[in-house]
Structure 1
Amino acid sequence: MTALLTIDNVSVSYGKAEAVRNVSIAVEAGQVVTVIGPNGAGKTTLLNTAIGLLPCQGRILFNGEDVTRLETESRIEMGFGLVPERRELFAEMSVYDNLLLGAYSRKDGTAAAKRSIDDVFDRFPKLKERRAQHAGTLSGGERQMLALGRALMSKPTLLMLDEPSLGLAPLIVKEIFRIIPSLRDLGVSILLIEQNARSALETANYGYVMETGEIVRQGPAGELIHDPQLIATYLGGHGDAHN
């Protein structure tokens, strides 16, 4: 079976510094796949490369089609979606208008986009309450929900999440990780980049461990979470990866 996303032997450099080295990962349709690892491991670089923001050596395949040289916009039209670490919302625009902007790449018209906004509001009732508020006035958890909702507006088949728990209170983190696997009901597969290793592995089907630009471990998430070495490095103490 062809994986939805295949990152095949990819390397990425910033000038002479190699940030990602010979990395291969796959996301099967219907899966949540996580890449965990410390700050500076190259995780965000890998996501930005997958969506076309950075050039690379190696190949990126989507549904078996080589997209390595495709522009970001073309990848989004094919079904890629990205929720960046900084969320990158339009602070001076309303929640509703931020969501509407998420549908810019679609060709099915305003009425369909408005139906999708209603779907987002059903999934995130808090956003419905705040629909007229400026995005900049939302709490951290609400901003993350808005970033997720906006990404869903483009009807992605692959949603890439960069550190969705970053800077959020523990109760909100729990809520975000409850939401992530439920997105599979929409036919969305997920590539999850996280430092919160325990929550990521509890949520994912399969996991990769990335250190200094390389994949150093991989396996079913249910096995990795019980791995003594990973427990010592990433899951000890408070159950979060070290910064």
Structure 2
Amino acid sequence: MSALLSVSDAHVSYGKVEAVRSVSLDVADNEIVTIIGANGAGKTTLLNAIMGVLPLKGGTAFAGADMAALDIEDRVAAGLCLVPEHRELFGTMNVEDNLLLGAFRIPKATATQSFERVYALFPRLKERRKQLAGTLSGGEQQMLAMGRALMGAPKLLMLDEPSLGLAPIIVADIFRTIGELRAAGVSVLLVEQNAQAALKIADRAYVMELGEFILSGSASDIASNQRVAASYLGFQHEGASAI
């Protein structure tokens, strides 16, 4: 299976502090890959660097093309998009206008199709399309952030903590939508502290600690690992493997 996104020997620093070091990963077409780890492990930093928000030393390629010289807009145009941890919505603009911002690189006719696709995934957004984004519930704001990213028809969607602060019933809706995205041909790179939910939906997983990947493999293998089960899933598997 060829890689849609490939990152090799990535290093990301804040001044003299190296937050991510010697990290390599890949995401294939129609694949969900998750990165799990504690707060401060470097997960968000890595996503921001892949998106071009932070400088990254190392190799990055998307759809077979080197990304080193691409700015953020060019990465979006190529089909890479990030939904940030804090959503970064425009609270004084309505739902429809927030969504429209995600379509700034595509033709108007294509944007119309994107609206239809997003509203089909998130019917609640259609009901609230004239409502100010700042007045939406947390779950609705997460739907809007994801919908805005999908307006540009990305090939790969990077999601940073999509379940953060949401009620369990809304979390279930969000993860169900992530599965629907894969079925529709969108690959997903998911950073998530809800390791149990992430590992259930992912094909493969990486475990990150202190800026490094300490374990990688199929999601089922990672979920059955003794250390992962104890540290991130909150229970101990009988007969689970150790790192």
User: Do they fold alike, i.e. is TM over 0.5?
Assistant: yes
The letter of the residue matching 2:10 is V
Q: 1:140 aligns with which of 138, 141, 145?
A: 138
The equivalent residue for 1:3 is 3
Aligned AA (1:175): D
Aligned to 2:126, the other structure's residue is in SS state helix
1:155 aligned to which of 144, 153, 156:
153
Identical columns (%): 57
Could you tell me which amino acid in structure 2 is paired with residue 91 of structure 1? Answer: G
In the TM superposition, residue 184 of structure 1 has moved relative to its aligned partner by: 1.4
Deviations 1:76-101 (A, max 9, x none): 00000110001011111111111111
TM-superposed CA distance for 1:112, in Å, is 2.3
* Offset of residue 115 of structure 1: 2.3
How many angstroms apart in 1 are the aligned matches of 2:26 and 2:192? 17
Q: Is the 8 A contact 2:84 2:159 kept in 1?
A: yes
Q: How many residues are aligned here? A: 235
Q: Which residue of 2 aligns with 1:181?
A: 179
Give 1:52 shift. 0.7
Q: Which amino acid aligns with 1:105?
A: R
Residue pair 2:52, 2:72 contacting (<8 A) in 1 also: yes
Question: Secondary structure of the equivalent of 2:165?
Answer: coil
SS at match of 1:142: helix
Q: Secondary structure at the match of 1:19?
A: strand
* Paired position in structure 1 for 2:166: 168
TM-score, scaled to structure 1: 0.94
Residue 94 of structure 1 contacts residue 131 of structure 1 at CA under 8 Å; is this kept in 2?
yes
Provide the C-alpha distance between the structure 2 equivalents of 1:231 and 1:185, rounded to a whole number of angstroms: 28
The offset of 1:24, in angstroms, is: 0.2
Structure 2 counterpart of 1:173, one-letter code: V
Amino acid at match of 2:96: Y
- The amino acid across from 2:230 in the alignment is A
SS at match of 2:3: coil
Contact 1:2–1:63 (CA under 8 A) maintained in structure 2: no
- In 1: Cα distance, 2:117 partner to 2:32 partner: 21
Gaps of 5+ in 1: 238-243
Secondary structure at 1:164 match in 2: coil
Q: CA separation in 2, counterparts of 1:74 and 1:81?
A: 11
Secondary structure in structure 2 of the residue aligned to 1:172 = helix
CA contact (8 A) 1:67 1:75 kept: yes
Q: Which residue of 1 aligns with 2:91?
A: 91
In 1: Cα distance, 2:69 partner to 2:114 partner: 30
* 1:241 equivalent in structure 2: none
**Partners in 2 of 1:204 and 1:116 — Cα distance?**
25
Which stretch of structure 1 is more off in the superposition, 62-71 or 86-95? 62-71
Matched ranges for 1:78-227 at <5 A: 78-106=78-106, 108=107, 110-227=108-225
Letter in 2 for 1:65: A
Q: CA RMSD in A?
A: 1.0
Residues 100, 114 of structure 1: 8 Å contact kept:
no
